[in-house]
A and B are shown apart, each in its own frame.
Chain A
Amino acid sequence: MNTRRKKRLALAVALIGGVAAIASLLLYALNSNLNLFYTPTEIVQGKKDTGVLPEIGQRIRVGGMVTIGSMLRDPESLHVEFAIHDSLGGEIIVTYDDLLPDLFREGQGIVAQGILIEGGKLQATEVLAKHDENYMPPEVAEAMGQTHEKLDYKTEQKSGY
């Protein structure tokens, strides 16, 4: 390679390296702000890296699994209450007054957006269902004991609270 090409190559590589360095520093600095949601554990104990606790009245998103058996539905209205938990053992109660998405089931991952109210509850204005990266035919899922029945309420859940 002649010197002019070498110079241009060095410049181009320096450009890529510089931009990569800036981007990684930026992403490192913003790291915890780039998460779409808090996990229930983070609401109780604060964020993993910064320890920041969300305040009462703050608008946040919470993501986790709907705890099986925690769903309570008001028979008179759309009002529902359910608990979501994560693998680290944190749990938070979510209340919601609108239609739940089709994929919503107990045991399903969800992301709820709303306002944190007294008593560690989240008053949700939007509930989104999260699905995982596993796809399988229904027969296979059945064989693995992973059937997804439509939400079925036990009698004590139907009776309200």
Chain B
Amino acid sequence: MKVLKYLKPYWWLALLSPLAMILEVSMDLLQPQLMSDIVNNGILGDGDAASNLSYVVITGLKMLGFSIIGCLGGIASAAFGTTAAQKMGNDLRKAVFDKVMHLSFQQTDKFTTGSLVTRLTNDVTAVQDFVAMSLRMFVRTGMQFIGGIAVILTLNVNFGMVLAISMPIQILVLFLILRKATPLFSVVQDKLDKVNSVVQENVTGARVVKAFTREEYEKGRFDKANTDLMTTNLRVQKLLATLNPILMVVMNASVIAIIMIGGFQVEAKAMMVGDVMAAITYITQILMSVMMVGMMIQQVSRATASIRRVNAVLDTIPAVNDPENAVTASDIGAIEFKDVQFYYPGFSGRPVLKDIDLKIEKGQMVAILGATGCGKTSLVNLISRFYDATSGEVYVNGVNVKEQSIEELRSRIGVVLQKSELFSGTVSENIRWGKPDATDEEVKQAAKIAQADEFIMGFNDDYETMISEKGASLSGGQKQRMSIARAIVKKPDILIFDDSTSALDLSTEAALHKALKENLEGVTIVMIAQRIASVMRADKIAVLDDGQICAFGTHKELMQSSDVYRDIYFSQMKNEEGENNG
């Protein structure tokens, strides 16, 4: 229950809420007693009519007074409890978000972004609701239960007998049914997930479903998942449908027993009719609170799952941290890998990168070429310290990355990711992400270099056009060019392209290269690419094969020395044609 420490700053609110609730419940508990007084001493009173009536009125007003106090207590309890829970939830949410923002890539990957989003939204809310409920309902139910028993026993000890029989039965029934139902809840959840996943696949994969004319097949798949869900749901609900009537039978039998016992007691003059009426109210209250406990047990089990999931995030120690004494950069723009090995955490077996030794000088343009899954992205991610090397060291700007402040390190690096992520906002806001104080000219200039200016000017509101839904309305090439502009406007010393020109057609890409060369002098460029044409003009080309650098040099050198490079070259150029260039 580590999350509960977030309640600490609001301990006084958290304490006042149950206290106020005690006030409310005590007043509630007094009511039936007063009611019974009204019946016993007022309506059936021994005095004359006028004094009986005045007794009714006076006791009634007392009752009203108490109930108003109770009401105020209830409102205060709601106010304190809600405030405490909301504030705590707010702090918790902020803490989790802050943590998520500072996780390293591998940690985020491990959680998966989808799950992090649910943890931040649903789970935090579940914890918050749980706290709000506990503060009030636990106390309320407990008091109604204990208080009710106490009062009913003072009315007549014989009523205790009824309780002694009915309560264990109720608890047993609750226990048996809930024990059967609780595991079913998670089964229902699984089946629901299954339904959702089929729908998701069909919505996002509509083209493939249609292209293979698999509509009927998909309908069958959905039908199965849907029917499964319904059957399981029905099973749970049928089970729960027994709960209500059984508990009611027990409760009503208790009421009958109370009247019965009461009747004999009244005849024996051991008690008054009013007390019987009060006892009916109390026993209903007591048995109701037993049912509430059942409800709350379910709530607790749900909340514990959420608490566990939130805790898992909070307990994660960010894998990549700032050093205690940051060293300032000396040789800006230079990058060096020294004997770097890299394994994905948790993945034993083959390393992703092995024996990497690579030196990139300031102002150089280095291309990285290699097969799918050979570790290119992992290699460049080490530069920005999105991951830390398993062994070996990475030097950027002349200093070991682990000895630099992460923020300073990343501020010097512009990264264009493989998958362009845009945010909601205008085009210029998106580009300005790279440098919040960039002038309009700077934004436009960056867009020009990125070959984005032309299509942006074609939008209705040019740079003020709103980008919705992560750029769903833009083509892949447009998104990539905007991401490139975003990295350029930052005026970085090192610019990294992680296969981020793949959606550009060849002439656009060529124009981009030309503009980069002309405008970004002195900037070190590391570029991952698939196309030989994209890399041929680089100062140096590193060929990655199976996690190792198998060749490093200029195009000409590699054409002579590297089989792998020649292989790639010919796979794209084929034979003689390519050779008159280069």
Q: Do A and B form a real pair?
A: no
